[in-house]
Amino acid sequence: MPVAVVTDSTAYLPAELSGTYDLTVVPLTVVINGSSGLEGLEISPAEVARALNARRSAVSTSRPAPSQFATAYRELLDAGATGVVSVHLSAKLSGTYEAACLAAAEVGDQVTVVDSGTTAMGLGFAALAAATAASAGQDLLEVRDAARSHAALVSTLFYVDTLEFLRRGGRIGAASALLGTALSVKPILHVVDGAIVVRDKVRTAGRALAKLVDLAVEASGEGEVDIAVHHLEAADRATALADALVVRLGDRLRDCYITEVGAVVAAHVGPGVAGVVVHRRP
């Protein structure tokens, strides 16, 4: 059995890739009005969106317990894996990476943990690269390095209707959130060094989406790329983004996926989010 690859539920891998890659997914937890459930298994993005739209509902998220990771690692090693590479969302956005590291220290040096420095398909592309390297028979350090190198090749950009949900969850500073509200601007954000940062501000949602396309094309560089378009209750926006990127990128675009973000990211960005992850092929 080759090296096993573990990731978490915020990778939001496209449904069409299910069964194509050998990956173990450890879910995060979402709490709505005191009732908790596992992302992707017990609580859906639609449930989170309804709670956020209700405004009086309390929505929060929590990392997996280290014991969840330790159990997953031991099961994979007991099944014959020569090692485990565990690839997770940015340590600046969640305690998931820390929980995985605690579990790895408990299980032993057969497990190595990678901070992708991002989330959603930014994390997903890194996990898929690790799984590809593992299936090719590469060793523990080679699989780890595949995850790290591909994580460095992604750019994660997204538009939100409001910064309020990111402010509530502590994922963006109060000053930035207040500025966006006071000026009634539509913010475009990106992930830089593992943190969410305001990239641009425009006046309307239409201009924001057009700017998002421009920034994604700029981030793509000159070579071949894969694109993942994410949304929450904004399928039309996602389709429009994908269609525009197909035209703008032309023959350089290899794979293009459209997926709805899961419950954890939904809880922090709110309904209407539209995002683009650019993966520059090495």
Q: Cα–Cα distances in Å, from 207 out to 20, 93, 213?
A: 37, 28, 10
Q: Where in the chain is the domain with CATH 3.40.50.10170?
A: 4-28+63-151
pLDDT of residue 169: 54
pLDDT of residue 60: 87
What is the four-CA torsion angle of 180, 183, 185, 187, rounded to 10 degrees? -20
Look at residues 143, 79, 141, 74 and name the one whose alpha carbon lies nearest to residue 107: 74
Helix (H, G, I), strand (E, B) or coil at 6: strand
- For domain 4-28+63-151, is the CATH number 3.40.50.10170? yes
Q: Where in the chain is the domain with CATH 3.30.1180.10?
A: 154-280
Given a cut of 50, the residues of the chain with pLDDT beneath it are 175
Select the CATH number that applies to the domain covering 154-280 from these four: 3.80.10.10, 3.40.50.300, 3.30.1180.10, 3.30.1950.10: 3.30.1180.10
* Beta-carbon-side half-sphere exposure of residue 281 (alpha carbons within 13 Å): 10
pLDDT of residue 199: 87
Distance of CA 208 to the CA centre of its chain: 21
pLDDT of residue 157: 96
